[in-house]
Amino acid sequence: AEFKSIPNAASANPLTMLALRRNHLLSAHLRRHNAPIFRILSLSTRTDAQLSSTISEVSAASVAVPLSLNERLTIYSQLSKARLSSLVVLTAGAGFFMMGGPISWSSFAALSVGTTLAAASANTFNQAWEVKTDAMMKRTMMRPLPRGAITTNHAVAFGAATAVTSTALLAAACNPLTASLSLFNIGLYSLVYTPMKQTSEWNTWVGALVGAIPPVMGVTAANGMLFSPEAMLTGAALFMWQMPHFFALSWRLRHDYARGGYKMIPCADPSGARTAGVIMRYAVGLTALPLAAAASGATSYMFALEGLAINAYAVNLARQFYATPSTANAQKVFMCSLWYLPAVLGLMVFHSKNWDESAATQPQHEPLLQLVEGGDEPEQSTAVVATDEWTRKVNEVKAYLKEMCVHEYLWKASGDVKTDESHLFCPVVVTESAVDTVQTTRAITKDLPRAIQ
């Protein structure tokens, strides 16, 4: 109504238009109904660059008005990118549970809350930095800052508060190493990756490093060790997975990214050949991960078999995009990446040998015998040795699934041999036996000359 009351609004004084737009942005109606920003932009004849500059200036200069609690929480959730933050918690949890039991649930809770707050901080700083570019892209123009729902100063204050809280929580409830990784990751994302998106195509690799740190934080929260096979494997999995995921996404949205001025490979790759090449290389590289996990002793060889099967499907989709770079094939790669990550991380955690080691080293939940003070005969004590319930459950599931293995059914179906020899037909057992044989032979060969002397 405000704009309709002005004749020839498109040719009106720019200062008048800015003032009216500011009032419109501050109105409760806009906040309540989320009026699309392009309806306001359509009244102006200025260029996209001028419009984006105007949007960011008005948004930053807007006077804060009282917000309801629900509105404030909604804005904070949008600044935090809640769905992306939940993915960060998932990957951090994978690193934590990769270390097996016994599980410290207080440490896990602190890790989950701490990584959520750290992700919220990094995402908020990212949006505060990119107000102008977000306003130019259809995908991001309705974020809180471009649409003027919150001031830049308010957003920065929220980002700083979540950063301080996450660092303090992780340091107190987990360990200083995990807190340091969290703080480093916030800085890497906000101060390096975010501005680099406007200057270099290598920003995706820096962003992948940011994504690889949360699972490492999970490992350090569980055992305090940075350089361990579990930390390297989970970090490598996240780093390599992000390449097919983000390059498939950026290929689909390449025109929008170009409009925002981002330096992305798909934006300068009309044929899609470079983009497809990167996706293909990292998809093939991911196939080595299950083998490396099993060979290092971090997981059983069952994970190697299952991981190779999943990766074969993913590589086939990458091959299709490599042969025919199209939006449809890019969408297939992207959709595959959405279930690929939780599937592979879940299997890696499930087949972690740390669960087996935990079960072997933990005493059972049995009563103790102790001497009663002042007596000679032992009696049963009410004290018990604590056993990690989750370790027991994981190993029970493993035993159940082992009985369902195909080779077990085939062996039992024959009926003329002992079932305790069924392991001879298990590909996992055969592979592990072969590896043990090679290692033993290598050790004997190494010590043989010394023995002869």
Report how far apart, in Å, the C-alpha atoms of 329 and of each of 257, 312, 319, 321 are.
19, 16, 9, 5
Read off the pLDDT of residues 44-65 as tens digits, 9 standing for 90 and up: 444 445 545 545 444 444 444 5
Q: Which residues pair with 369 in a beta bridge?
A: 380
| Mean pLDDT of all residues in 14-21 | 48
Cα separation, 211 vs 216, whole angstroms = 10
pLDDT at 125: 93
DSSP 378: E
| Mean pLDDT of all residues in 185-211 | 93
| Res. 385: pLDDT tops 50 | no
Residue ranges per structural domain of the chain: 1-227, 239-364+390-404, 407-453
- pLDDT band (50, 70, 90) for residue 428: low
Cα separation, 340 vs 450, whole angstroms = 49
* 66, 74 Cβ separation under 8 angstroms: no
pLDDT at 13: 47
| Mean pLDDT of all residues in 106-127 | 94
Q: Which of 155-159, 317-321, 445-449 has the lowest mean pLDDT?
A: 445-449
pLDDT at 332: 95
| Mean pLDDT of all residues in 93-111 | 91
Between 236 and 403, whose confidence is greater?
236
What's the N-to-C CA distance of the chain in angstroms?
100
Cα separation, 262 vs 132, whole angstroms = 12
pLDDT at 218: 95
pLDDT at 442: 65
| Res. 294: pLDDT tops 50 | yes
pLDDT at 84: 84
Amino acid at 177: L
- pLDDT band (50, 70, 90) for residue 396: confident
Query: Quick one: tokens of 46?
Result: 């200025």
| Res. 15: pLDDT tops 50 | no
Q: Which of 156-165, 180-189, 205-214, 415-424 has the lowest mean pLDDT?
A: 415-424
| Mean pLDDT of all residues in 140-162 | 89
| Res. 124: pLDDT tops 70 | yes
Give the contacts of 234 (CB within 8 A, at least 6 positions apart).
Answer: 91, 94, 95, 98, 215, 216, 218, 219, 345, 348
Cα separation, 106 vs 88, whole angstroms = 18
| Res. 435: pLDDT tops 70 | no
pLDDT at 52: 52
Question: 175: exposed, middle or buried (C-beta count within 10 Å: 0-12, 13-18, 19+)?
Answer: middle
| Res. 25: pLDDT tops 90 | no
| Mean pLDDT of all residues in 351-359 | 76
| Mean pLDDT of all residues in 214-221 | 95
- Percent with pLDDT over 70 in the chain: 66
Please report which residue ranges of 130-267 form alpha helices under DSSP H.
Answer: 131-136, 152-173, 176-187, 194-196, 203-223, 229-252, 254-259
DSSP 380: E
Q: Peptide bond preceding 102: is omega within 30 degrees of 0, i.e. cis? A: yes
| Mean pLDDT of all residues in 259-280 | 89
Q: How many CB atoms lie within 10 A of CB 212?
A: 21
Query: Quick one: tokens of 323?
Result: 């042969």
Element (H, E) at 352: none
Between 325 and 133, whose confidence is greater?
325
| Res. 281: pLDDT tops 90 | yes
Q: Which CATH number fits domain 1-227: 3.40.1390.30, 3.40.50.1820, 1.10.357.140, 3.40.50.450?
A: 1.10.357.140
- pLDDT band (50, 70, 90) for residue 4: very low
| Mean pLDDT of all residues in 270-294 | 93
